[in-house]
Structure 1
């Protein structure tokens, strides 16, 4: 290899090393750049959004159904107490009916006696006829009152039955919601765990990449050192075209030998720097490679468990989400049932209030009858007291008087009980209606919240389908950049092998020059030679100083002392 070939090789190494380092200068920061989201991060985002939505709807559901039964148990205890009041009314109404029947019988007997009295008993007969009619009215209204009371009790029982249905529906809503929520939580926690572990390993990839990036500090050393060698070689390219055996030739040989020695010193420095740097790089890059293999293995396991359509673990995300969506559809259907039962409950509550008013209205018909009975009773007493022909019915009149007074007393008590019942029931049901209406409104809010979450769930399925179709854990192009970095650094390592070959070749040149110099000196009877050309001597001193500075880490191509640790200087 002649000097031109060496220069060409040096230029080739300079150009290749510059190419490698320029590309590495772009690749390393790009590898470390974590802007933008990966499939893994997008999957985490979707799952975290589902988790937050699930927690929100669960919190709302817990507030609505907390102590739901306990809240309304006092109401139905009060209603049961009111039914016992109706039982008392029932007994009194039955008593009035019985009194009415007895009054009617007494009136019939008195009428028979008055008819037998002939013309003198006609007035009493008419009075007794009115009494009979009024007694019959009392019976009819009492019977009607009993019928209204019966219907009222049926409405109250229906209210309790409907409320029981509400409790059952609420239980189904709560259970269905709880099952769906637990399924969502189980899915999310089951997936986020492996994702978190994978993310942790992914994060651990970047520190050794950052350390490996310090290899870029070689670029100035290699470039400037090789430029120094190139300059040295250019200076001595034509110095051997001198008169054979002259002092100038010996100066030229000595200059060439010493400059080649300087070049070898520079090459030693470059080779040692690259070798030492690559020892650290290989350690860091080996760690990167191992971590990437671990991440890839985790990714494959994760995909097999959670993303594959043929997952044997039963943990496929899409399949489980489809099942959860089906459960949510059942939940939404149960909400509709709940809402319908709530409407029945409100309707029945209104019916109880209306039926109680109707009952009071029917009761109001008894008062005029009772007033007329009192009037007829007085007329009857007057007629008996002045008509000797009907003195025999005096006891019957007394019995009638007692029955009317008894019925009147019962009506007074009934009016008090019924008025109190209506007032208490109205207040009770008014509060109940307000509370149940509020619950119904809250249920509608919960239904809306669950509906929105159901929509989010369906949207998540579509988003997940896109993520799963191209699941990646590193930013786009990361693997390719990783391979290119390894390739470029392998190229630099190969250049180091070439530099060793150049060093061996230069060593041979130095050896050849030493032999040639000895032969020339021997022909002149000399053993050593001191360069006589002062320019040559000055050049050798300058290059020697530069080379030795480089060998101690102060070479002009090294990192500046002012640079902080880890700082990189690019081309």
Structure 2
């Protein structure tokens, strides 16, 4: 008998034995895992329900509107009181700001007066130049007048410089005043926004957070209900595990048949042609039967794998869905975000109060600097008034000299103009001095009043900050307690997740079993093909077209099968009938 077989039926039987052991380990593993999953699921449900009860308790402490000592009630009371006090201070600031806006117009009017004085001084300088020309022409008679005009020119030039300095000081004060008012207006904006925040926070701040805790309870209840949907796939998997016994029996049939497939190393010597054909039919039929049985087992494993995989993925899908919902709830517009919003509102209000006070400290400092500038401007006008006195002296001297010298008669009109300008400068400076004095006095009173207001507001702010710090601390304690419940919430528990992850390894091993069975069928196919070629060769050599096995070896093997469907398959392959018994697929004993 010609033969060339690298892998013996004994090797294949050993490989199948390995698959039997592996499938038993895998199915036993699955059978052991899923009861654990059921137990862990029940534990997780009990734990999560206790967590929900804990959340209910913390929520009642937080937002019990019937209790005056609840955090929400205390917060509302503090904010309403602070809002009333702050509104009173805000109105006073409005009045002061309006008063200071009017005062700044005085400074701007001074600029016009300084401009008039400058123009008059420039005109006086021109007069001095013209007068000097006349004095020079008058010769000796104009000597004294020449000295007077020189003095007039000097005083006029000094007056022009003074006006430039006064203009610069006025602009500096105007700018300082504008910056001061701008700073006050910014404080006004902060305070206006702060009052709005007070109202908004009282109405919606913690109330929204309180409502959100109710939503959290409903959300977690829904999660618990969703986790219960895992029971269905768990039950389905446990039912499928029972098919392992059929798989084991089926592979036992394969091993049984392979052990009867003994291939002699040397050709049969004294066998008849009938015995040889019977042997070749047997040798080619057993591999075919084993391949069919293995394919049937492979299909059962495939179905089990797909069912395990599908139901496991269903479980994983529920877990992922729940985990994603919990993650979204934690990080989205859920309880945590509402509490963060409420806490941020407290921080924002406290910062706004602090910012308002800091800005007023700066304004108070600016007010001192502003008053120094106003006082300096007032002193500059006083100094300038002394210079105006020199104009008057020159004016008197020029009148006397013109009256004494006939040669200077033509200067009478010029002297008159000089007199008019001197009077105008004198009256303008006097009016400016009166205005600046009133401005200084009123502004000083306003800024002193502002400083007193600041002290009152600082006292209010200290009390408010203390109250809000207490509320924030109380809120943090409550919030952290509630958030801890949500953060630690799990519908399954770590034991469930860890056990669930073990199923992936088992499913991978189950897939490997199918691959091993596929290798076995390939090897059996090679054996069948080899003996089929020899069988066909012997048929042709003996002029035959077919041969029915007459040996009972094959039937004796089949009688030892315990599954009716396998007997039917074998009978069809071997060309004999099998008596009807139990329903296909059920275990039958003979």
CA distance in 1, matches of 2:383, 2:477: 66
1:363 Cα deviation (Å)? 0.6
RMSD: 3.5
Q: Point out where structure 1 has 5 or more consecutive residues left out of the alignment.
A: 1-36, 196-303, 472-571
Contact residue 208 and residue 338 of structure 2 kept, 8 A: no
Q: CA deviation at 1:366?
A: 1.0
Alignment length, in residue pairs? 325
Could you say if the C-alpha distance between residues 60 and 192 of structure 1 is closer, same or farther in structure 2, counting changes exceeding 3 Å? farther
Structure 2 unaligned regions, length at least 5 = 1-52, 65-69, 218-321, 490-590
Tell me the distance in 2 between the aligned counterparts of 1:394 and 1:313.
Answer: 94
Match of 2:342 in 1: 324
**Correspondence 1:271-286 to 2 at 5 A:** none
Which residue, out of 182, 185, 206, partners 1:164?
185
| Residue 372 (structure 2) aligns with | 354
Partners of 1:105 and 1:155 lie apart in 2 by 35
Residue in structure 1 matched with residue 450 of structure 2 by the alignment = 432
Distance 1:120 1:373, change over 3 A: same
Q: Is the 8 A contact 2:83 2:198 kept in 1?
A: no
Measured in 2, the distance between the counterparts of 1:41 and 1:82 equals 61
Alignment of 1:337-352 (within 5 A): 337-352=355-370
Among residues 139, 145, 157, which one is paired with 2:166 in the alignment?
145
- Structure 1 runs (4+) deviating above 6 angstroms are 192-195, 307-310, 312-315, 466-471
CA distance 1:443–1:46, shift in 2 (3 Å): same
State how far apart, in whole Å, the 1-side matches of 2:461 and 2:449 are: 18
Residue of structure 2 aligned with 1:186, choices 203, 208, 213: 208
8 Å CA contact 1:183–1:324 kept in 2: the answer is yes
- State the partner residue of 2:504: none
Counterpart among 46, 62, 84 of residue 105 in structure 2? 84
Task: Choose from 404, 419, 439 the match for 1:421.
Answer: 439
SS in 2 for 1:371: helix
Give the Cα separation in 2 of the matches to 1:74 and 1:167: 11
Q: Residue 141 of structure 1 contacts residue 365 of structure 1 at CA under 8 Å; is this kept in 2?
A: no
The two structures have a TM-score, normalised by structure 2, of 0.49
Q: How does 1:203-218 map to 2 (within 5 A)?
A: none
Counterpart of 1:128? 149
In structure 2, how many angstroms separate the alpha carbons of the residues matched to 1:385 and 1:115?
17
- Equivalent residue for 1:453? 471
| CA distance, structure 1, for counterparts of residue 103 and residue 432 of structure 2 | 14
The farther-off stretch of 56-65 and 435-444 is 435-444
1:62 to 74, 77, 83: 83
Give the Cα–Cα distance (whole angstroms) in 1 for the partners of residues 427 and 344 of structure 2. 65
Residues 313, 371 of structure 1: CA spacing in aligned structure 2 closer, same or farther, 3 A cutoff? closer
Among 360, 375, 379, which residue is 2:393 paired with? 375
User: 2: CA distance between counterparts of 1:470 and 1:407?
Assistant: 85
For 1:45, the equivalent position in structure 2 comes to 61
1:241-276 Cα deviation digits (max 9, x unpaired): xxxxxxxxxxxxxxxxxxxxxxxxxxxxxxxxxxxx
Is the contact made by 2:114 and 2:163 (CA closer than 8 Å) also made in structure 1?
yes
Contact preservation (8 Å) 2:364, 2:451: yes
Residue 321 of structure 1 and its aligned partner are, at CA, apart by 1.9
347-356 or 393-402, larger mean C-alpha shift? 347-356
Specify whether residues 316 and 38 from structure 1 end up closer, same or farther in structure 2 by C-alpha distance, changes over 3 A only.
same
Kindly indicate whether the alpha-carbon contact (under 8 Å) linking 1:39 and 1:470 is maintained by their aligned counterparts in 2: no
**What corresponds to 2:418 in structure 1?**
400
Question: Which of 454, 460, 480 is residue 442 of structure 1 equivalent to?
Answer: 460
TM superposition score normalised by structure 1:
0.50
